[in-house]
Amino acid sequence: MDKTLAINGGTPVRSVKLPGPYPGASVYGKEEADAVTEVVMRKSPFRYYGVDVAGKVRDFEKMFRERHGRKYALACSSGTAALILGLIAVGVQPGDKVIVPANSFYATAGAVTVVGAVPVFCDINHSMNIDPETLDKMIDPLVKAVVVVPILGNPCQMDQIVAVCKKHGVHLIEDAAQSCGSKFHGQFSGTFGDVGTFSLQLNKIISSGEGGILMMDSDDYFERAARFHDQGSFREKALLPEIKDKPNQYLIGQNYRMSEVAGAIACEQLKKIDFIIGRMREIKKSIKDAVQPVLESYGVEFRTIIDEDGDAGSTVMMYMPTAEKAMAFHDALRAENIFCSHLYDRKPIYAAPSLLGQISAYENRFPFNQLTGENKVEYHMGMCPVAEDLLSRNVMIPLAPAFTDQDTEDIITGVLKVAKEILA
Ligand SMILES: *Cc1c(COP(=O)(O)O)cnc(C)c1O
């Protein structure tokens, strides 16, 4: 093997790039194709009526809630929509504060602002997920709900988080967009809080391109979410007769419905989820077994996994000794044709100029304008130092079930080659 790094003109470990790290889509096949064809041939792409509706979205909801053991599941158009619906379901109001982790995708904070509430950022710990002790200290009377995010397959510390939310009497929403199928102490992410939400976007563990789903046990939360997602109407009556159409639940809604085409793919993907996770966990274990001791001797840290048995295995996440090393390692590994990236551009969510400056779609800066005087919420860099430090040093290798044993070998070879040159 050529020891010279590809970035310095050497021969790369791989002559062709690794396949894209899209877990669900990487195992698309005849099953998804046939399911979509069925919807097309029945000329019925809309869930609620048509020539000959196959009921794919309804089937997906049923499979999803049965797998997770929750009373209700509502499929919708995206993970962002699922979050908005979850916040509406539990009754978050304009002017409320909602705590979100400093490390998440924009959508977690964006959804909060859409319902008129103000996101407040809580620091994380070495797991990359929200820190329960910091959370406990941050909850004040204006906080109506907490959104926790199991980042990249790593479940959150749910026993402590549930206890903190109970103690303060605030709603708990789990944004498990990236961690469908992960578990804490044997229980699925998305089944601990009042509401659990998921995304089916391309990067996620199962994917229909775009799509989302949320789950809950409360009849009232389900009816509010279902109404809001369908222009205020409640068409679930026929499907779920135990739910009453309650006039006191009427509300003006939007359109966050899932199409039958997405539903058809989602059903087939859900049937494959245990295979997807099983294979990714295997790949991750091979990589970590081979590289962890060597990299740790160079001062690299592997993120703390809160429950090894419940990790979805979708990512190898490392913290390099410094931000400079993280950038050098990333660039060198990519030049070897091993795909890696920096989570969230190495920055916490509030570093986005729109959030940092509280620039909404509205000239009066709604929702931020509602909290004034001593209740005013402001953001600044340095606010969540652990998140800023860990993110600045992060390099991640996203995995896919479609990786072959050779792909896994190449990742190991590439990581060790680059580590030796960049970190030793
Ligand atoms: C992807 C993601 C979302 C948004 O999902 P979309 O389907 O893209 O709208 C929300 N939260 C987290 C943590 C995500 O990773």
**Nearest-atom index, ligand 1, CA of 212:** 7
Calculate the average pLDDT of the chain: 96
Region 395-424 average pLDDT = 97
In this predicted model, what pLDDT tens digit does every residue of 408-418 receive, in sequence order? 999 999 999 99
pLDDT-wise least confident of 18-32, 48-62, 113-127, 225-239: 225-239
Tell me which DSSP letter residue 51 carries: S
Residue that has been written with the tokens 């470990």 in this structure: 13
Region 22-26 average pLDDT = 96
| Cβ atoms 386, 133 nearer than 8 A | no
Question: Sign of dihedral through CA atoms 175, 278, 315, 79?
Answer: negative
Region 154-161 average pLDDT = 98
Spell out where 15-85 has E strands. 72-76
User: What local confidence, expressed as pLDDT, does residue 339 receive?
Assistant: 96
Looking at ligand 1, which residue's alpha carbon is closest to its atom 10?
A: 107
Q: What is the pTM of this model?
A: 0.97
User: What local confidence, expressed as pLDDT, does residue 247 receive?
Assistant: 75
In this predicted model, what pLDDT tens digit does every residue of 274-297 receive, in sequence order? 999 999 999 999 999 999 999 999
Ligand 1 centroid – CA 371 distance (Å): 27
In Å, what is the CA distance from 224 to each residue of 32, 241, 243, 300?
Answer: 31, 16, 12, 47
Q: Which of 76, 124, 175 to mutate to test the pocket of ligand 1 (most atoms within 8 A of CB)?
A: 175
In this predicted model, what pLDDT tens digit does every residue of 354-374 receive, in sequence order? 999 999 999 999 999 999 999
Region 184-191 average pLDDT = 98
The token pair at 145 is 């709900």
Region 133-149 average pLDDT = 98
Region 47-59 average pLDDT = 96
Ligand 1 centroid – CA 245 distance (Å): 31
Ligand 1 centroid – CA 374 distance (Å): 32
Confidence tier at 2 by pLDDT (50, 70, 90): confident
| Cβ atoms 227, 74 nearer than 8 A | no
Collect all residues with Cβ–Cβ distance below 8 Å to 18 and sequence separation of at least 6: 337, 338, 339, 403, 407, 410, 411
What percent of the chain has pLDDT above 90? 93
Ligand 1 centroid – CA 273 distance (Å): 18
- Torsions phi, psi of 325, nearest 5? -65, -35
Ligand 1 centroid – CA 7 distance (Å): 33
User: What local confidence, expressed as pLDDT, does residue 196 receive?
Assistant: 98
User: What local confidence, expressed as pLDDT, does residue 306 receive?
Assistant: 96
Q: Which residues form ligand 1's pocket by a CB distance below 6 Å? A: 78-80, 104-105, 107-108, 149, 175, 177-178, 199, 201, 212
- Flag whether pLDDT at 340 surpasses 80: yes
- Flag whether pLDDT at 20 surpasses 90: no
